[in-house]
């Protein structure tokens, strides 16, 4: 292929924004973010939930684009960051060390192939999770199974936060889940609205960033609430 054709092909590829939600992540950020190669994404946005451990200062010192959340919750963080994202592709990337940075270009490649959302599944094929305990493993399997049964999907992992999607598709969905129930809502709405979804294999290493911030009981209740709402909610494209 000639140089002009290569340039034309690259120019037609969609631009990408990596969104990194943070809350007291100083243990992991210096080890994880430098692993993301500049050629993998066009933009990185760190959206911070009022960290007090040096996370903000480290991001500023190393030149990362940083915004401060105005409302609490994972879903709110992603929503606020997307509003400022310049990319056509959005990648949600948990920075605690449990997501493999080298899978970022794989997600982007699959979206450029024509998929509207791609999930980095911890349970697809030979992928495995080293961060799961008995409770989280059971919860992941149970809620993924419920999503498949009630919404006709075929996921192996509907709860993982590491995923990518087209911003144009996202804008039609009206996602409003404020907390970790955001991932369940997006897993339901993308196929519900007729968008093309798939998964890739992605191991989940043990997290670097200390204790898990998620409360299993509260999160489980919020996931059930979202699923109940989505089951009865008709499609209403924005």
Burial class for 102, CB neighbours closer than 10 Å (0-12, 13-18, 19+): exposed
Task: Assign domain 14-232 to a CATH class.
Answer: alpha beta
Residue 95 in contact with residue 25, Cβ under 8 Å? yes
Residue 77 in contact with residue 133, Cβ under 8 Å? no
pLDDT at 212: 64
pLDDT at 238: 60
Do the bridges between strand 16-22 and strand 89-92 make them parallel or antiparallel, or are there none, so unpaired? parallel
Whether 237 shows a pLDDT value over 70: the answer reads no
Residue 217: which pLDDT band, with cuts at 50, 70 and 90? confident
pLDDT at 41: 97
pLDDT at 235: 85
Residues in the chain: 238
Whether 7 shows a pLDDT value over 80: the answer reads no
Percent above pLDDT 90 for the chain: 85
pLDDT at 8: 42
Beta bridge mates, 16: 89
Q: What is the pLDDT of residues 68-121, one digit of tens each?
A: 999 999 999 999 999 999 999 999 999 999 999 999 999 999 999 999 999 999
Beta bridge mates, 201: 121
Give mean pLDDT, residues 180-189.
97
Residue 169, H or E segment: helix 167-170
For 78, half-sphere exposure in the C-beta direction (CA atoms, 13 angstrom radius) is: 28
| Tokens 């050629």 belong to residue | 39
3-state SS, 101-139, equals HHHHHHHHHHHHCCCCEEEEECCCCCCCECCCCHHHHHH
For 168, half-sphere exposure in the C-beta direction (CA atoms, 13 angstrom radius) is: 9
Among 91-100, 115-124, 132-141, 229-238, the minimum mean pLDDT is found in 229-238
């Amino acid at each position: 292929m000639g140089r002009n054709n290569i340039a034309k092909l690259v120019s037609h590829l969609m631009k990408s924004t990596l969104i990194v939600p943070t809350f007291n992540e100083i243990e992991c950020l210096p080890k994880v973010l430098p692993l993301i190669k500049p050629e993998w994404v066009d933009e990185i946005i760190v959206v911070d939930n009022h960290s007090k451990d040096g996370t903000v200062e480290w991001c500023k010192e190393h030149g990362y684009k940083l915004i401060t959340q105005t409302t609490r919750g994972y879903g709110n963080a992603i929503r606020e960051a997307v509003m400022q994202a310049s990319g056509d592709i959005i990648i949600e990337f948990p920075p605690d060390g449990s997501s493999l940075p080298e899978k970022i270009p794989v997600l982007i490649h699959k979206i450029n192939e024509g998929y509207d959302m791609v999930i980095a599944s911890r349970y697809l094929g030979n992928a495995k999770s080293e961060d799961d305990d008995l409770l989280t493993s059971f919860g992941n399997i149970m809620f993924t199974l419920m999503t498949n049964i009630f919404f006709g999907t075929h996921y192996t992992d509907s709860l993982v936060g590491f995923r990518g999607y087209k911003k144009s598709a996202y804008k039609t969905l009206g996602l409003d889940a404020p907390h970790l129930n955001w991932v369940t809502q997006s897993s339901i709405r993308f196929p519900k609205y007729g968008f093309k979804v798939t998964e890739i294999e992605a191991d989940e290493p043990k997290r670097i960033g200390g204790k898990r911030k998620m409360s299993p009981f509260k999160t489980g209740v919020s996931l059930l609430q979202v699923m109940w709402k989505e089951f009865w909610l008709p499609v209403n494209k924005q």
